[in-house]
């Protein structure tokens, strides 16, 4: 699988690659993601030095939550969006950090021909402060 940049377009390119896999190969990716979020991200994204440090220092609880949410989205082949706000800098200096957010947007639809449908999008937001 081709490595992609860690930005909104890169995430969409990775999803295209993942969702083109057959079910068994996609499950291998999901299992690897759940085994180690950090290793999976390093294998699939091109990261700069700061992004690598941030990934290595990510809180374990948040990493487990992110891994579980991504695994669910991948298994159901649902959209995942990365939203970055603020200016990302390689060496931001003292007192500058990140705020990570994780949310899911869900829409329930109904029609007589299709019945009830649920559309869900996982949103990972990173705010540089």
Quote the percentage of the chain above a pLDDT of 70. 93
pLDDT at residue 90, rounded to an integer? 56
Q: Residue 108 contacts by C-beta under 8 Å, 6 or more apart in sequence?
A: 116, 117, 118
Q: Say what the pTM is.
A: 0.85
Residue 109: give the domain boundaries: 4-128
pLDDT digits (tens, 9 = 90+) for 55-112: 999 999 999 999 999 999 999 999 999 999 887 655 555 555 788 899 999 988 899 9
Rounded Cα distance between 8 and 111, Å, is 32
* Per-residue model confidence (pLDDT) at position 1: 87
Average pLDDT over residues 46-61: 93
Tally of domains within the chain: 1
């Amino acid at each position: 699988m081709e490595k992609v940049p860690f930005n909104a377009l890169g995430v969409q390119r990775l999803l295209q690659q993942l969702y083109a896999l057959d079910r068994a190969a996609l499950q291998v990716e999901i299992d690897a993601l759940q085994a180690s979020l950090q290793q999976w991200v390093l294998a699939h994204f091109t990261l700069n030095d700061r992004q690598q440090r941030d990934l290595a220092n990510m809180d374990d609880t948040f990493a487990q939550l992110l891994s579980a949410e991504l695994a669910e989205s991948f298994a159901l082949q649902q959209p995942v969006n990365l939203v970055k706000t603020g200016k990302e800098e390689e060496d931001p200096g003292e007192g500058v950090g990140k705020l990570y957010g994780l949310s899911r947007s869900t829409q329930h639809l109904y029609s007589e021909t299709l019945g009830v449908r649920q559309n869900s999008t996982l949103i990972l937001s990173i705010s540089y402060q």
